[in-house]
Amino acid sequence: MKSPLSPKHYLSEEIFALEQKNIFRKLWIFAGIKPALAAHNAFMTREIGGVPVLLQNCSGKIRAFENLCPHRLMPVQTEEFGQTPMRCVYHGWTFNPDGTVRTIPTERHLYNYDAETRQSMCMKQFAVHELGNMIFVCLDDNPLPFDDQFTPEFQEKVAEASMFFGPHAIHSNRRLDFNWKLMFENVIDYNHIPFIHPKSLLPAIPTFRHMFNNEKQEQPALAQISHGPEPVELHQLSFTRECFIDQQPYYWTKHAVKHYGRIDHYYNFYIYPNVNFTCVMGVAFPIQQYHPISAQKTQIRLTCPSVTVDNEYAKRHAANLRSVLLGEYRVMDEDFDALLAFQKAVHRDAPIMEQGHYESDLIAMAHVYKSLLNA
């Protein structure tokens, strides 16, 4: 059937502005992992929906603020990660855990604020939801109930898997010239694996290897395609998949204190609108986030948390995370080549995509996306 989306949804800056306003500033968006904010005054900075966001550990409580000093709108924290109190680098203003102004250097001599103005000045605070070791932020003044976006069953699975994170993580950012939706659609579209990843991913997944070789294989039942937005709801867009993998365990697996699920399985947790959280062999937990920069530019944020290992091996294990990250990029680079080619070729007058029955998840996602866009 025809895709609910047209080429303009991957090209238009006007539509991108609506996405920022009605999706990324309205929904709960994954912002980071708790181990990175374990210490007092540990912080991380993000951009969500075009808004600079600061997550800060304030005496054990994780809070989220608009990362702007009320004085001259300078960022209060300027690095991506760190551990310092909330203090503006420009004029030295400091802030309390609730975002109100604590001290202003030379205040009595230079600023002359009246009492009402002084009391009202603060950094805007956003809603935070902790799900296991995953941190979500909602920028809306009236946050959507978390259960409306994610089912309790899905939340339980994500929380359980993330609680296996260890104290270390490796982070990477890359900017690429394609629309952010393409990458989320790509990871859900399992049918591309034999053609885009014939040497990297396909050999490790017997299900697709058999399918590609036309071997006799029982196929899963196909879901019914939704022909309109009414039967599809937001919480249906975040779901899990798992499959058997034919791959040797990481050599450091034996040092893991415990592992998630089965070590011969690959787990996907698709977190709408822009995260693919995975678990490989129970001990590696790559988190891919597709952060929109413009209609045709995306930042790929890749976080690879460690698993908890025995104390003797802990420091060495942190270095091993680089191999996990490079393994993720070996596969994603093949996806990137395809998506860059799509973005380069597509134009406003291009035909509407013809989608097949197996793409029911993508069609459902497109219906909800359009309803959110028009909200």
When the candidates are 3.10.129.10, 1.10.1740.10, 3.40.50.10470, 2.102.10.10, the CATH number that belongs to 28-143 is 2.102.10.10
Average pLDDT, whole number, for the chain? 91
Q: Do domains 1-26+151-375 and 28-143 have the same CATH topology?
A: no
pLDDT average, residue stretch 251-272: 86
**Domain spans of the chain, in order of start:** 1-26+151-375, 28-143
The reported pLDDT for the residue numbered 211 is 62
Task: Compare 210 and 244 and report the one with higher pLDDT.
Answer: 244
Would you state the torsion angle of the CA atoms of residues 147, 53, 270, 210, taken in this order, to the nearest 10 degrees?
-170
Task: Compare 225 and 55 and report the one with higher pLDDT.
Answer: 55
The reported pLDDT for the residue numbered 124 is 97
Counting Cα atoms < 13 Å in the Cβ hemisphere of 159 gives 11
Counting Cα atoms < 13 Å in the Cβ hemisphere of 135 gives 24
Give how far Cα 40 sits from Cα of 61, 79, 134, 159, 372, Å.
9, 16, 18, 23, 37
Say which residue the tokens 């899990």 belong to.
240
Of 149-158, 212-221, 346-355, the one with minimum mean pLDDT is 212-221
CA dist., res. 253 & res. 72, Å (int)? 50
Q: What is the pTM of this model?
A: 0.93
**Residue pLDDT, tens place only, 73-122:** 999 999 999 999 999 999 999 999 999 999 999 988 899 899 999 999 99
The reported pLDDT for the residue numbered 182 is 98
Structure letter (DSSP) for residue 218? P
CA dist., res. 367 & res. 364, Å (int)? 5
Tell me which residue of 92, 84, 87, 37 sits closest to 64, measured CA to CA.
Answer: 37
The reported pLDDT for the residue numbered 323 is 86
Given a cut of 70, whether residue 319 has pLDDT beyond it is: yes
When the candidates are 3.30.1010.10, 3.90.380.10, 3.90.1750.10, 1.20.1260.10, the CATH number that belongs to 1-26+151-375 is 3.90.380.10
The reported pLDDT for the residue numbered 229 is 43
For 94-123, letters b (16+ CB in 10 Å) and e give ebebebebeebeeeeeeeeeeeeeeeebeb
**Residue pLDDT, tens place only, 188-233:** 999 999 999 999 988 888 876 666 665 544 444 444 444 444 568 9
Please check whether residue 260 is in contact with residue 279, taking contact to mean a CB–CB distance below 8 angstroms: yes
